[in-house]
Structure 1
Amino acid sequence: MLTDYHNHLERGTLTLDYLEKFIEVAKLNGIEELGISEHAYHFYQTKDILSNPWVEERRFYDMEDYYGLFKQAWNKGHHLKFSIEMDYTPGKHKEMQKFIESYPFDYVIGSIHWVGDFGIDLAEFRKEWDRRDTYEVYEKYFDQVVTLAESNLFDIIGHLDLVKIFKYVPKEEEFLLAQYDRATTALANSKTCVEISTAGLRKPVGELYPDKRLLQMCHQKGVPIVLSSDAHIPEHVGCDYDQAVALAKEVGYRTIMIFDKGERKEVELG
């Protein structure tokens, strides 16, 4: 089975016509389960979780409209998973839990895009990488991976090593592997799956998330996986899945997880 659980409508509209473009590409690419997981910061209902000037310029959705779109799709017979991608925000566990429990999500993705006031993957912040200590950014990023896992609020962690997006990577392998080790230990002790994401192939780093060494640690410690494209346009749904499946099998994975109303099930990897 092939699934694509990480997709965004934000560059289009919250309409059935636009959503069906994603569904159509998924079918063409052999994706048997498609999930839409819009960024939670777009919604008025998450204002008490994450708020900064960059985010506030982009908060323009209401959850009722979003959930209503899924109901339209289901009523038309589309098999579609209902999800959200939430910025994991330290110190906001109660607020995140309240939001997650307010809607019947099939699964919830937790991701880390911010290290303090630093939007690590945003073009607007790219020059900040030259001003900051890469080792310190990585350590703080993986601090959040650990506490995200320990919170046990999320079914999936998105793009586990997104921090490498602009190719700023610590040169000391021992340091890097130590970050990977503590992150995967925390994930192994949680309910959180790791996605193999093809989005990195379309970014400056030019490689899959996560790094092969990091994925190997996940496999060794029994952390389950899902597949994702992190598509922001329909054409990217299921994009480059041959590489994602090949990496998964290379490190030893033979199964992926699928989700339904918060419950997960292990199935054979396509």
Structure 2
Amino acid sequence: MLTDYHNHLELGTLTLDYLMKFIEVARSEKIEHFGISEHAYHFYQTKDILRNPWVDERRYYDMTDYVDLFKRAWKNNIDVKMSIEMDYTPGKHKEMEIFISSYEFDYVIGSIHWVDDFGIDLAEFKKEWDRRDLYDTYEKYYDQVITLAESNLFDIIGHIDLVKIFNYIPQDEEFLLHQFDRITTALANSKTCVEISTAGLRKPIGKLYPDPRLLQMCFDKKIPIVLSSDAHKPEHVGADFDQAIQLAKSVGYETLMTFEKGNRKEVPLG
């Protein structure tokens, strides 16, 4: 079986017609478990969780409309999972928990896009990489991965090593492997799965998330995985999954985790 649990409608509309464009590609790619996980910061209901000028300009959805879209899809016998991708926000665990528990998500993705006021994956902030201490940024990023895991609020962590997106990578391998070791230990003690994301192949880094060494540690510590494309356009659904599957199998994975209404089931890898 194949999953693609990380996909976004934000470049289009919250309509059944637009959703069907994604569904049709998923079907053609033989993806049995497909979900939409819109960015939580787009919704008015998350204004008490994440606030900054960049985010506030992009808060234009209401969760009622989002949920209604899935209800219409299910009424038409369209098998699509309802999810959200939430920016993990330190100090906002209670608020995140209240939001998550307010909706019947099939699963919830937690991701880290911000280190303090630094949007690490945003082109608008790229110049900050040359102004800030690389090792400090990496350590703070992976500190958040640990507390994300410890919160046990999320079913999946999105693009776990997104911090490498612009190819700013510490040269000290011992430092990097230490970060990998401590985050995988935290994840192994949580319910959080790791996604193999093909999105990195479409970014400046030009590589899958996660790093093969990090994924090997995940396997060794028995952390489950899912496959995701992080598609923001229909044509990216299931993109480059041959590479994701090859990576998963190369470190030893033979199964994926699937989700439905918060319940999880392990299935053979595609």
Query: Which position in structure 1 is the counterpart of 2:223?
Result: 223
Query: Which position in structure 2 is the counterpart of 1:161?
Result: 161
Matches within 5 A, 1:178-257: 178-257=178-257
- Classify the secondary structure of the residue corresponding to 1:35: strand
Q: Cα deviation per residue 1:82-132 (whole Å; 9 max; x = unaligned)?
A: 000000000000000000000000000000000000000000000000001
- Classify the secondary structure of the residue corresponding to 1:244: helix
Report the alpha carbon displacement of residue 258 of structure 1 after superposing the two structures with TM: 0.2
Report the alpha carbon displacement of residue 64 of structure 1 after superposing the two structures with TM: 0.3
Letter in structure 2 aligned against 1:36: I
Letter in structure 2 aligned against 1:205: I
Query: Which position in structure 1 is the counterpart of 2:267?
Result: 267
- Classify the secondary structure of the residue corresponding to 1:209: coil
CA distance in 1, matches of 2:133, 2:29: 41
Matches within 5 A, 1:132-147: 132-147=132-147
Query: Which position in structure 1 is the counterpart of 2:32?
Result: 32
Query: Which position in structure 1 is the counterpart of 2:20?
Result: 20
Report the alpha carbon displacement of residue 33 of structure 1 after superposing the two structures with TM: 1.1
Letter in structure 1 aligned against 2:46: T
Aligned length: 270
**What is the percent sequence identity of the aligned residues?**
78
Query: Which position in structure 1 is the counterpart of 2:69?
Result: 69
- Classify the secondary structure of the residue corresponding to 2:170: coil
Q: Aligned-pair RMSD on alpha carbons?
A: 0.3
Query: Which position in structure 1 is the counterpart of 2:103?
Result: 103
CA distance in 2, matches of 1:235, 1:208: 18
CA distance in 2, matches of 1:29, 1:133: 42
Q: Greater shift after overlay, 25-34 or 83-92? A: 25-34
- Classify the secondary structure of the residue corresponding to 2:179: helix
Letter in structure 2 aligned against 1:262: G
Letter in structure 1 aligned against 2:121: D
Tell me the TM-score normalized by structure 2: 1.00
Unaligned runs of 5+ in 2: none
Query: Which position in structure 2 is the counterpart of 1:41?
Result: 41
- Classify the secondary structure of the residue corresponding to 2:135: helix
Letter in structure 2 aligned against 1:63: M
Unaligned runs of 5+ in 1: none
Q: Cα deviation per residue 1:52-109 (whole Å; 9 max; x = unaligned)?
A: 0000000000000000000010011100100000000000000000000000000000
Query: Which position in structure 2 is the counterpart of 1:129?
Result: 129
Letter in structure 2 aligned against 1:114: W
- Classify the secondary structure of the residue corresponding to 1:84: strand
Query: Which position in structure 2 is the counterpart of 1:92?
Result: 92
Runs of 4+ in 1 over 4 A off after TM superposition: none
- Classify the secondary structure of the residue corresponding to 1:267: strand
CA distance in 1, matches of 2:25, 2:109: 22
Does residue 58 (structure 1) correspond to residue 72 (structure 2)? The answer is: no
Query: Which position in structure 1 is the counterpart of 2:258?
Result: 258
Q: Cα deviation per residue 1:15-46 (whole Å; 9 max; x = unaligned)?
A: 00000000000001111111000000000000
CA distance in 1, matches of 2:75, 2:164: 41
Letter in structure 2 aligned against 1:148: L
